[in-house]
Structure 1
Amino acid sequence: MFALQPQQPSECDSKSSKSYTPNILPCRIHHDGPVESLNRYWTPVPDEKDQNLQTAYFRGRKLRGRRVQIPRGYEGIVATHTDRELPRTTPDNSDEAEVEEVEPAEPVKVLEKQATFGDFVVWAHETIPASDDPYVKGVEEWIKFAEAMHTEPAQDENKGTST
């Protein structure tokens, strides 16, 4: 289980308050860190007819991208793992005569919020990702699933009444 917390004050800098646009690329890049000159490697160009579509070239390969908006009321978050854990709380069982043997709770690890985003771009080789692309479709389906899991079903007013 994870808990999301803001970045530690000593580690905060001007980047933490910015909003970014993540890119989901159809490739594996064996590098994790900053790049000296990003413009040398990555210069997406918006489509003239539709600003949600983009074209870029990466290492000589043409990529086409589709911008996907995060639904209203939600926020995308870029987070990093930490070694910290939330302190465990033990329930007060002083009222019970018998205490059942319970498995120890799984530790709650802390994720630190680094940045936010309101949209992301999904890229494909040569063609624009379709609306049934797993990443494009996944946002809508995940949001619907999460809302179904965390809302109470509407009460049927006619239930329990006889006609």
Structure 2
Amino acid sequence: MSINLNTNTDIINSSESSKMHLLPFYIDHNGPANVSKYYTSYMKSSSSDESGLEASFRGLPLKGKVIPVPEGYKGLVFTETNPNQIEDNERNFFLKNKFTEITFWNYDKLPSSNDAFASALDWIHISDAIHSEVDSEEVTES
């Protein structure tokens, strides 16, 4: 099976970007939603943490935090043309939008470095350090 990522330089170079929300539950819907009218307009700053946010979804309280995409990386949204294909077939993904930050939500506590998502972002920095070239001067200094 091969996976093809089809990019669009107009989207990558555009100043517009999507607002991304990572929610702690699954919504059985793949399509547009009027998030600005029914969700983000009800978000407010957290009373317990100035960098946190509070909202609710279907009556469930949520606590969130805006997390920027790490420097040197781009957040890209791809959509698959035929997602229910047989495994051996070629899969095609098309760039739909980009984002510069993600609002990460938990049910009852503000997101922290202990969350799996934050740990995954930490891995980017660890991976860069592991795979970067080290010159002999740096080795002898330490």
Which blocks of at least 5 consecutive residues in structure 1 are unaligned?
A: 84-105
Could you list the per-position Cα deviations for residues 76-106 of structure 1 after superposition, in whole angstroms to 9, with x for gaps in the alignment? Answer: 11111246xxxxxxxxxxxxxxxxxxxxxx9
Contact 1:41-1:59 at 8 Å conserved across structures:
no
Identity of aligned residues (%): 23
* Structure-to-structure mapping, 1:138-153, within 5 angstroms: 138-145=120-127, 148-149=130-131, 151=132, 153=133
Contact 1:77-1:116 at 8 Å conserved across structures:
yes
**Which deviates more from structure 2 when the two are superposed, residues 130-139 or residues 110-119?**
110-119
Instruction: Provide closer, same or farther for how the CA distance between residues 45 and 107 of structure 1 changes in structure 2, counting only shifts above 3 A.
Output: same
Which structure features the higher share of helix residues? 2
| Structure 2 partner of 1:18 | 16
Q: CA RMSD in A?
A: 3.4
Could you list the per-position Cα deviations for residues 46-77 of structure 1 after superposition, in whole angstroms to 9, with x for gaps in the alignment? Answer: 33662x31100110111000111112221111
Contact 1:81-1:111 at 8 Å conserved across structures:
yes
Shift of 1:4: 3.2
1:116 to 85, 98, 108: 98
| Structure 2 partner of 1:40 | 38
Instruction: Provide closer, same or farther for how the CA distance between residues 8 and 111 of structure 1 changes in structure 2, counting only shifts above 3 A.
Output: farther
Shift of 1:39: 2.2
Q: Distance in 1 between matches of 2:15 and 2:3?
A: 22
Contact 1:53-1:64 at 8 Å conserved across structures:
yes
Structure 1 residue matching 2:38: 3-state secondary structure? helix
| Structure 2 partner of 1:59 | 58
Which blocks of at least 5 consecutive residues in structure 2 are unaligned?
A: 83-87
Structure 1 residue matching 2:37: 3-state secondary structure? helix
How many correspondences in the alignment? 129
| Structure 2 partner of 1:133 | 115
Shift of 1:142: 2.9
Structure 1 residue matching 2:63: 3-state secondary structure? strand
The TM-score, its normalising length taken from structure 2, stands at 0.69
Q: Distance in 2 between matches of 1:58 and 1:27?
A: 10
| Structure 2 partner of 1:5 | 6
1:156 to 115, 122, 136: 136
Structure 1 residue matching 2:56: 3-state secondary structure? strand
